[in-house]
């Protein structure tokens, strides 16, 4: 039995999310079906992060155990052949120690949320960005976002059906960057609560519109009440970009 670490890119638009569910297609299910088609084995593919329905990934990581004698390049190429034409791509497959775990070995997770800020609707990037027609002040959004950095009770930014044992998380960094009409909210933390990033974005939108300021964001955080935060941004603008592991891991 050999454990492989998979680095995966996918467009999550038409999937129910990462995790296999009773109804609807999931990324996990499609990967497990591809493994079965490749080597005839029923293997569990375990991901580093459970992205929601409609959320995308540029650098999702998962691991899978395969009995068949093979190598990383063959695993990558074979899985991609069986996944085609679905919008899921194995970027890399590497042999890792059997104690490596895509989720529990991870030290940090990074996401980017994309907003297209212009009057005209978006066509090419529909389902891949949040279109906001009202002008946003990205500098004010960045300033307000810094109030969220650190270890806090993030109940205000936690979905009501979040299954995490505690609302206390540590946000390592959050930056708001703008180039032309494209605004990116880039976040990094050891782990996130359910909908946490999307709730950050919905709150920062209020700041960008001039309805809130940085002090309002601080007050919302301190309230520890989801009703005191901004709306939940739609899933299509969110991308899981990177999973960080210790130096000796992938």
Q: 215 catalytic, yes or no? A: no
- The per-residue b/e assignment along 148-187, b for 16 or more CB within 10 angstroms, e otherwise, is beeebebbbbbbeebeeeebebebeebebebeeeebbbbb
Going 229 to 233 to 237 to 240, the CA torsion angle's sign is: positive
Bond preceding residue 85 cis, omega within 30 of 0: yes
Q: Which of 118, 119, 7, 22 is nearest to 64 (CA)?
A: 7
| Catalytic residue, candidates 33, 52, 175, 213 | 52
Tokens standing for 241? Answer: 């970009």
Residues annotated catalytic, as ranges: 52
């Amino acid at each position: 039995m050999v454990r492989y670490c998979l680095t995966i890119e996918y467009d999550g638009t038409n999937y129910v999310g990462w995790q296999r569910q009773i109804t609807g297609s999931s990324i996990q299910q499609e990967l497990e079906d591809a493994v079965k088609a490749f080597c005839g084995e029923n293997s569990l593919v375990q991901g580093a992060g459970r992205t929601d329905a409609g959320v995308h990934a540029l650098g999702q990581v998962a691991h899978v155990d395969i009995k068949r004698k093979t190598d990383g390049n063959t695993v990558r190429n074979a899985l991609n052949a069986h996944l085609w034409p679905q919008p899921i791509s194995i970027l890399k497959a590497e042999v890792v120690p059997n104690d490596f775990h895509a989720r529990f070995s991870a030290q940090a997770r990074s996401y980017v949320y994309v907003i297209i800020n212009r009057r005209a609707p978006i066509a090419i990037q529909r389902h891949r960005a949040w279109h906001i027609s009202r002008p946003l002040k990205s500098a004010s959004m960045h300033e307000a976002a810094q109030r969220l950095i650190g270890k806090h009770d993030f109940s205000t930014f936690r979905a009501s059906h979040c299954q995490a044992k505690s609302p206390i998380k540590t946000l390592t960094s959050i930056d708001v960057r703008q180039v032309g009409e494209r605004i990116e909210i880039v976040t990094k933390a050891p782990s996130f609560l359910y909908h946490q990033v999307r709730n950050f974005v919905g709150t920062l939108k209020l700041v960008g519109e001039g309805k809130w300021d940085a002090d309002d964001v601080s007050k919302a955080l301190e309230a520890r009440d989801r009703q005191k935060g901004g709306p939940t941004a739609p899933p299509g603008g969110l991308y899981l970009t990177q999973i960080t592991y210790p130096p000796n891991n992938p």
